[in-house]
Amino acid sequence: MTTRLFGRLAAALGIQAVPAGGVLSGWSPATGLVLYWAEAVVGLVLALAMIKLYDAFVHDPRSYLAFGPPGSPEFEGARRERLAEIQAANIRARDVALVHGSGFLIFGVFFSAVLLIASRNHGLTPPSLEDLRLGVPFMAALAALGFLLDVQGLRNRPASFVAARVDATNARFGILWLVAFFGTFLMVVTEKPTAIFMVFAVLKGLHEFGLAMERSAR
């Protein structure tokens, strides 16, 4: 448990360190904001992967052999209970992909427009494609590490564990709206984009730290 907790914390805080460290080293705060959007998209993809993997485990007879041989009342009872958990949790990959995917797409369009206006009319340095090419793969690799830690023992976990992963994606998306639009507004008004970005970076880092601790406790 301690090793898994350390790994989750290292992955979560490492992801947050990429945009924060990049901005402190000279990247545009706008680049950092786009990296947060990329992090949320990667998180959605991994949440969908977890849903599909969990669904495969649920329908795999080997998941219930510990309760009894196939066809036994104990075996069938455990299988029905797990299927009922999934229905109660209401986690379907298609629904999550449709709702969240469309939300991220709409957000991306609006956020691109906001950054374009802020960079052209208010002097905010636009995102750097070169910096994004460096930051996004590194963040994705750390997110994949967290995912691999989360799926350990997934076969025997309750559906609520997977639902919590989807809920974390929802929370991250809500924070993303706050950071992207309100943060960009403050960057323009105060004319101190780096300082404003770092305030949001610290708050988001604390949020991700809390999520990692909560997942480790499950």
85 assigned to some structural domain: no
Residue 104's pLDDT is what?
Answer: 81
Question: What is the Cα–Cα distance from 176 to 33, expressed in whole angstroms?
Answer: 8
Question: What is the Cα–Cα distance from 105 to 176, expressed in whole angstroms?
Answer: 13
Residue 215's pLDDT is what?
Answer: 65
Contact 10, 156 (CB under 8 A): no
Residue with tokens 């460290």: 21
**pTM of this prediction?**
0.84
73 assigned to some structural domain: no
Residue 82's pLDDT is what?
Answer: 84
Low-confidence stretches of the chain (pLDDT < 50) are none
76 assigned to some structural domain: no
Contact 153, 53 (CB under 8 A): no
Q: CA nearest 36: which of 156, 135, 166, 165?
A: 135
56 assigned to some structural domain: yes
Number of domains in the chain: 1
Q: Taking the CA atoms of the chain, what radius of gyration do you get in angstroms? A: 20
Residue 128 structural domain: 2-61+92-217
